[in-house]
Amino acid sequence: MSADLNKVMQLAGAVAAGQFSADGKMLAKEGHIDDETAHMVAMMCAANTMMGKMQAENFSKHSQMHWAPFHGFAVSAGDYTVCTMGHVGVFVETAKADFNEVFKVLGEVAHAH
């Protein structure tokens, strides 16, 4: 079942949204993103998710802080931020985004399928 990307695209500042597989394939996309860029983004999101899981597990193991389980990540550069939860992500215009709302909606959508 695919994620409700239309709901994600309703977020303030949303430019593009997608669902990616653990091995870096774009499963579904909405918004202003071409196929070549979507392919690159899916690979980046899958790689960052794998790295984040490893870091969360190790941070938990070697500190007194509870980092695991890993839920998602955000990377902000220039005018845009990419945010993910599970295997669903969104590109938003940083200045327009409400990041509490972004992660709330991503969490709902990621866990609904």
* CATH number of the domain encompassing residue 39: 3.30.450.30
Domain span holding position 68: 5-112
Integer distance in angstroms from the first to the last C-alpha of the chain?
6
Q: CA-CA distance, 91 to 30, in Å (whole number)? A: 11
Q: Could you read off the pLDDT of 60-99 as tens digits, one per residue?
A: 999 989 999 999 999 999 999 999 999 999 999 999 999 9
> Domains in the chain: how many in total?
1
Q: pTM here?
A: 0.91
